[in-house]
Each structure stands twice: as structure tokens, then as C-alpha cells.
Amino acid sequence: MISLTIRRIEPDQRDRLERWLREVDGPRRQEALATLADEGVMHEKAVILDTSDGPILIYAMESADLEYARAVAQRSEHAIDAEHREVMQAAVAGRPDIAVVLDLRSGDAASQS
């Protein structure tokens, strides 16, 4: 299953958030991959979109069990996870208004018949 999270970013936290995500994807990549393994996450991707209304974080995660992945991440004792929670808490400024216009999954037609 894929989880897509879209959040506004506090403008004064945009650069800090970008530096953090680049650090996670760079020098701390192996540490981050170890946490993904613990969580059962197969893929994680984040992008920052600069808009006229301020920066937006788009965060995608793929896991067979998203609830399990979130629970493991919340109670994780990995230093990188604690730092990630702290940076994200400081950066996130709420949810933008969005409209989900497509959400297809293989097998949906069979389950709705």
C-alpha cells in the first residue's frame, strides 16, 4: 500500500527540512535504510514543492502494513527517527486543501462487484 502525505511547511523551516532530508538520503542513508527494514517499509520518497502559498512537503511511503510501519516508527529508539520526528514537528504547518481525484488499486473492481 502507498501512503501519500501532503503538508504545508513553515517557511522559516523549509531550508532546515531540506537539509535534513538530504542528510537522511546522503551520509545517513544506511541508518535510514535500517529503520525502513524495521518498519517494513519498501520505499519512501519526499519532495518539496515551492508554491505561491508557501512550501509544501509531499511524502510517499510504500508498505504492506502502513499502521504497523507508523507504530514502529513512533516507538523507534533509533537516533535518526527521533531527529526526524523533531525536524518534522518543527517544519509542518498543517494540511493544505486537496482533492483526491484518483485512487485505483489492483483488485478493486472484484471487491466492489
**What's this model's pTM, rounded to 2 decimal places?**
0.87
CA separation, residue 101 to residues 25, 33, 41, 98 (Å) = 30, 32, 25, 9
Give pLDDT tens digits for 49-100: 999 999 999 999 999 999 999 999 999 999 999 999 999 999 999 999 999 9
Q: Tell whether the torsion through CA atoms of 41, 51, 27 and 82 is positive or negative.
A: negative
The single residue listed with the C-alpha cell 504545508 is 8
CA-to-CA distance for 18 and 61, rounded, in angstroms?
A: 18
* pLDDT (mean) for 24-51: 97
- The pLDDT of residue 107 is 78
Which pLDDT does position 106 carry in this prediction? 84
Query: What are phi and psi for residue 106, nearest 5 degrees?
Result: -55, 135
- CB 20 within 8 Å of CB 87: yes
